[in-house]
Amino acid sequence: MKALVVYFSFEGNTKLVAKKISETINADLVELKTSKVYPKEGIGKFFWGGKSVIFGEKPELINQPIDMKQYDVIIIGTPVWAGTFAPPIKSLISQYPIQGKKIGMFACHGGGGAAKCFEKLKKALPGNEFLSVIDFVEPLRKSDGNTTKAIKWAEGLNISKDI
C-alpha cells in the first residue's frame, strides 16, 4: 500500500501534525497551496475564512497535479473553519476523484467543531473506507503532547512502513 498525507495549513498547526504523521507511516506529503491569500491577523482572518466556508468557495490550487490513482491510503488534514473543513480541502475533493480509498482524517482547531468537520468531510467523500479520525487543539502551542498524539494515532492506523 502507498499512502499520502495531504493537508491545508493556515497558521502552521496542521502542517506540524501532517509532517509527524507522514514521517511515522512513511507517506508522501503534499501541502495544498492556493492562489487566494487569506488574512492571517485580526478580525479579517475570521471574516474571510467564515465567508469562504459559507459561500462554498473552492480556491484555485496552485500545486503540481496529484496522481491520486497511485495511493491506497489518503490522510487528509485540515483546520476547522466555521465548524467544517477549510475551503482548499473542498477544492481538493472537487478537483480530484477520491474513490475506493482508505481515508484517515485529522483536524486542528482552537477549541471545537472537529466532530462536525469530520461528519461533513465523510459526507463529501462517499465511496471510501474511513479508517480513523483525530483532532488536535492548538498543536503549535502544545507541540510536545500533540506530536506524541499524532505519532500514536498514525501507528494505530496499522499501515505498514513498507508502503
List the domains of the chain with CATH numbers: 3-156 (3.40.50.360)
Q: What is the per-residue pLDDT across 92-106, written as a single tens digit (0 to 9) for each?
A: 999 998 999 999 999
Confidence of residue 47 (pLDDT cuts 50, 70, 90): low
Residue 125 or 42, more confident = 125
Judge whether residue 48 has pLDDT over 70: no
**pLDDT cut 90: percent of the chain above it:** 71
Write down the pLDDT at residue 162. Answer: 46
Q: What is the per-residue pLDDT across 49-70, written as a single tens digit (0 to 9) for each?
A: 665 767 678 889 999 999 999 9
Query: Cα separation of 56 and 87, whole Å?
Result: 7
CB neighbours of 24 closer than 8 A, spacing ≥ 6?
150, 151, 154, 155
Query: Cα separation of 82 and 69, whole Å?
Result: 31
SS3 label, residue 30: strand
Write down the pLDDT at residue 68. Answer: 96
Tell me the pTM: 0.91
Beta-strand relationship, 84-85 and 73-81? antiparallel
